[in-house]
Amino acid sequence: MTGFPDLAQRYRVSSVPKTVVGDTREFVGAGPEAMLLEHVQQAAQGGIVAP
């Protein structure tokens, strides 16, 4: 990642594609749709899990 080094560092992006949901939830690669949905639902509920 060279485009936005600040973001790459903040979200510890070392391999791509990396998806960050609601700032603290993340996964690398193409996850199943159900997993993305679960991340979105949990992020919306504000159930913050420390990274």
**Closest distance of CB 49 from other proteins, Å:** 15
Please, which residues have CB within 8 angstroms of residue 9's CB and are 6 or more apart in sequence? none
Tokens of 24: 């603290």
- Site track for other proteins across 6-25, x = CB under 8 A: -xx--x-x--xxxxxxxx--
Burial letters 6-19, b for 16+ CB under 10 A, else e: eeeeebebeeeeeb
Q: CB of residue 45 vs other proteins: minimum separation in angstroms?
A: 8
Residues at the contact surface with other proteins, assessed by CB under 8 A: 1-4, 7-8, 11, 13, 16-23, 33-34, 37, 40-41, 43-46
